[in-house]
Amino acid sequence: MTKRITIDPITRLEGHGKIEIFLDDHGDVEKAYLQVPELRGFEVFSVGRPAEEMPRITPKICGVCPTTHHICSTKALDDLFNVEPTPVAKKLRELMYSAFMLEDHMLHFFFLGGPDFVVGPSAPPAERNILGVIAKVGLEIAGKVINMRKECRDIITYFGGRVIHPVCGLPGGISKPLTEDMRQKIVEVAKHGVEFAKFTLNIFDDVVLKNKDYVDLILGDVYKHATYYMGMVDKNNKVNFYDGDVRVVTPEGKEFARFKPKDYLDHIAEHVEPWSYTKYPYLKKVGWKGFVDGIDSGVYRVAPLARLNVSDGMATPLAQGEYERMFETLGGKPAHNTLAFHWARLVEALYAAERMLELAQDRDIIDPNIRNIPTSIPDEGIGIVEAPRGTLIHHYKTDQKGIITEANLIVATVNNAAAICMSIEKAARGLIKRGKVSEGLLNMVEMAFRAYDPCFACATHTLPGKLPLSINVRDKEGNIIQVLHRS
């Protein structure tokens, strides 16, 4: 008898990503579908808008990572209006952006992803949330987390006016210079940041790496996918969030492509399925072979682990050290272990903090010369940044007045859409046998899902990470015969 299992992040009606698992007659997993039931059409209604407003329009795609869209859009405008930002403007943007990356990665580790490890995958679900983390690491540290987040968000607010949907980006620069005393404040924050990132890595060591079960879990096959990886690197092939070339490596870790943002269309294509509002990007030169991994499938992965996989290291000393240690532990590059995204995320957080400190300590950064006024006629512009959740691409075309005539957006999480489906299906296969659906499935699948820190506000509409789940086991007619439900 065929069964259908519906895993619905909070029931279908709330539509923030839905997983359908079909079992074959033996009760083994035949197929799993991740559905995205939402779309807003930013690409379409951007048409007709003045290009310079795009940095204020596109952040509304996502209230969790608005800074990413804002900066990416601003970079697309630099290209569109063919204007080079002043040196200090570039620094200020990257400074603001680093503060954001640090804050966002920390948020994920402690509030969203962390509970799986800090509290432990086998702990009762009721404890596997931020309160559980607090209980485990203590209120004082929880306070630190909240404070770190606030400090970073204050920096973004200083430049952007508002941390949710900042507004400061302009082609050729930024709307507001940095004052000396704010610079000094930022130096302090960055120092906390570095300490705090190191401290967080220690927690990861203590509670995760020192625990054999966890390490096995990370290295285990259930969470492995040999895919291509994509991420942005600087001229020395070091990880860079703000600027550089996009690099792609094969499942064996060989460089497959290294391209400039403007050439993205030669490398990335998107596949459409009738059962989901999201699209499934893949490597154009490999081609779409369905939801499968391996060297012949165009499916690739982005975000922290991917970025570390495509790079030759980190541009700051402490982060470089952690980078090496990680790959050592994981048995070399590229690492295919989905759960290692959490670790990579912490390495990146340390890099973000160190980079922030470098920039803030540069006294030239208070130079008031923050704008170059565009002079040439706009036509087409492409901007790429590395979002917490992966490579983000904004591509605009305009008429001569700078009115958008076409916009194409490939949003971080979407790059991972296919891989997420696969990870879920694989986790399910590993855990559903002969129609028996174990309680553990819930957590395990959820962990697979959350490792990517999927921001479906970007692709769909859910917030990243911790999605309360329920599993409905249905018979062929779709009647629910079993409900697994965490409360």
393, with CB counted inside 10 A (0-12, 13-18, 19+), is: buried
Q: What are phi and psi of 24, to 5 degrees?
A: -85, -175
Residue count of the chain: 487
Site for other proteins in 258-287 (CB under 8 A): 264-265, 268-277, 279, 281, 284
* DSSP code string of 321-389: HHHHHHHHHHTSSS--BGGGHHHHHHHHHHHHHHHHHHHHH-GGGG-S--B----SPP-EEEEEEEETT
Considering the rule CB under 8 A, would residue 33 count as an interface residue with other proteins?
A: yes
Member of 66, 132, 381, 383 binding other proteins (CB under 8 A) = 66
How many Å apart are CA 217 and CA 339, to the nearest integer?
A: 8
Q: How far is the CB of 197 from other proteins (least distance, A)?
A: 21
Binding mask 180-199 for other proteins (x = CB under 8 A): --------------------
The window from 114-122, 221-229, 237-245, 394-402 that contacts other proteins (CB under 8 A) reads: 394-402
The half-sphere exposure of 369 on its side-chain side, counting CA atoms within 13 A, is 7
The window from 49-57, 195-203, 325-333, 443-451 that contacts other proteins (CB under 8 A) reads: 49-57
Residue with tokens 């969790």: 64
Which of 50/220 has CB closer to other proteins?
50
Considering the rule CB under 8 A, would residue 14 count as an interface residue with other proteins?
A: yes
Considering the rule CB under 8 A, would residue 165 count as an interface residue with other proteins?
A: yes
How many Å apart are CA 266 and CA 270, to the nearest integer?
A: 12
Considering the rule CB under 8 A, would residue 45 count as an interface residue with other proteins?
A: yes
Considering the rule CB under 8 A, would residue 487 count as an interface residue with other proteins?
A: yes
Binding mask 104-133 for other proteins (x = CB under 8 A): ---------------------x--------
Which residues are within 8 A (CB) of 355 and not within 5 positions of it... i.e. 6 or more apart?
A: 94, 98, 315, 316
Considering the rule CB under 8 A, would residue 403 count as an interface residue with other proteins?
A: yes
Q: How far is CA 5 from the centre of its chain?
A: 28
DSSP state of 16: S
Site for other proteins in 70-99 (CB under 8 A): 77, 81
Q: How far is the CB of 288 from other proteins (least distance, A)?
A: 7
How many Å apart are CA 390 and CA 401, to the nearest integer?
A: 32
Which of 235/476 has CB closer to other proteins?
476
Enter the tokens of residue 450: 């959350």
Q: How far is the CB of 309 from other proteins (least distance, A)?
A: 23
The window from 183-191, 195-203, 438-446, 461-469 that contacts other proteins (CB under 8 A) reads: 461-469
How many Å apart are CA 348 and CA 239, to the nearest integer?
A: 9
Q: How far is the CB of 291 from other proteins (least distance, A)?
A: 12
Which of 31/433 has CB closer to other proteins?
31
Enter the tokens of residue 288: 């779409």
How many chain residues are in contact with other proteins, going by CB under 8 A?
97
Binding mask 363-392 for other proteins (x = CB under 8 A): --------x-xx------------------
Considering the rule CB under 8 A, would residue 486 count as an interface residue with other proteins?
A: yes
Q: How far is the CB of 228 from other proteins (least distance, A)?
A: 16
Site for other proteins in 292-321 (CB under 8 A): none
How many Å apart are CA 147 and CA 141, to the nearest integer?
A: 10
Enter the tokens of residue 170: 């302009």
Q: How far is the CB of 205 from other proteins (least distance, A)?
A: 28
The window from 47-55, 199-207, 344-352, 439-447 that contacts other proteins (CB under 8 A) reads: 47-55
Considering the rule CB under 8 A, would residue 11 count as an interface residue with other proteins?
A: yes
Which of 4/355 has CB closer to other proteins?
4
Q: How far is the CB of 44 from other proteins (least distance, A)?
A: 5
The half-sphere exposure of 157 on its side-chain side, counting CA atoms within 13 A, is 10
Enter the tokens of residue 312: 């030759």
Which of 4/307 has CB closer to other proteins?
4
Helices (H) and strands (E) in the chain, counts: 17, 18
* DSSP code string of 239-282: B-SSSSEEEEE-TTS-EEEEE-GGGHHHHEEEEE-TT-SSEEEE
Which of 2/329 has CB closer to other proteins?
2
Considering the rule CB under 8 A, would residue 221 count as an interface residue with other proteins?
A: no
Q: How far is the CB of 94 from other proteins (least distance, A)?
A: 17
Which of 81/97 has CB closer to other proteins?
81
Among 244, 448, 211, 442, CA closest to 337: 448
Member of 30, 234, 362, 379 binding other proteins (CB under 8 A) = 30
Q: How far is the CB of 177 from other proteins (least distance, A)?
A: 9
Enter the tokens of residue 270: 């998107």
Considering the rule CB under 8 A, would residue 401 count as an interface residue with other proteins?
A: yes
| Contact (Cβ atoms closer than 8 angstroms) between residue 389 and residue 365 | no
